[in-house]
Amino acid sequence: MTGFDDSALDDFAARLDRSDDIHATLMPLIASKPFAHWAKVFAAEDVPFSPVNGLDDLARDPQLKARGVVRTVGETQVLAFPVQMEGMGAPAGQVPAIGEHQAEILKQSEEAE
């Protein structure tokens, strides 16, 4: 791919046609530096940006914590449904262990058949 100062990329349709090439060029470049670096670069150029959060990031997000979306159930942190509505209760008292309710669910499934 040629540089991004290529006049052929001045047109949105042309950029859209070459989006796979642009993506392939930008991904390794962006991945080579931490988010804080790119936040400074993009903010200085007035480029809209936002981090893409993973589950660990969400559990530490101050906005989600302030809204009560991050909750502790037993010894586990869970994310509650983010849209709070009247009548929705608190999350379960504990997170079930893998397979904890398997026999009960299978029995209900067999009875429904």
Q: What's the pLDDT at 53?
A: 85
In a domain, 72, yes or no: yes
Residues 27, 67, single domain; the answer is no
In a domain, 32, yes or no: yes
In a domain, 96, yes or no: yes
Computed over every residue of the chain, the mean pLDDT equals 85
Residues 103, 62, single domain; the answer is yes
**DSSP state letter for 51:** -
Residues 100, 70, single domain; the answer is yes
In a domain, 49, yes or no: no
- CA dist 62 and 78 (Å) reads 15
Residues 22, 64, single domain; the answer is no
In a domain, 64, yes or no: yes
In a domain, 30, yes or no: yes
Nearest one of 101, 96, 71, 74 to 84, comparing CA atoms: 71
The total number of structural domains that make up the chain: 2
Question: Which residues are paired to 71 by β-bridges?
Answer: 78
pLDDT band at residue 1 under the 50/70/90 scheme: low
Torsion-angle region of residue 56: left (phi > 0), alpha (psi -120 to 50) or beta?
alpha
Q: What's the pLDDT at 85?
A: 78
Which pTM value belongs to this model? 0.50
Percent of the chain with pLDDT over 70: 92
- CA dist 106 and 110 (Å) reads 6
In a domain, 50, yes or no: no
Domain containing 18 equals: 7-44
36-62 mean pLDDT: 91
List pLDDT tens digits, range 71-87: 887 788 888 877 777 87
Chain centroid to CA 23: 19
Q: What's the pLDDT at 36?
A: 94
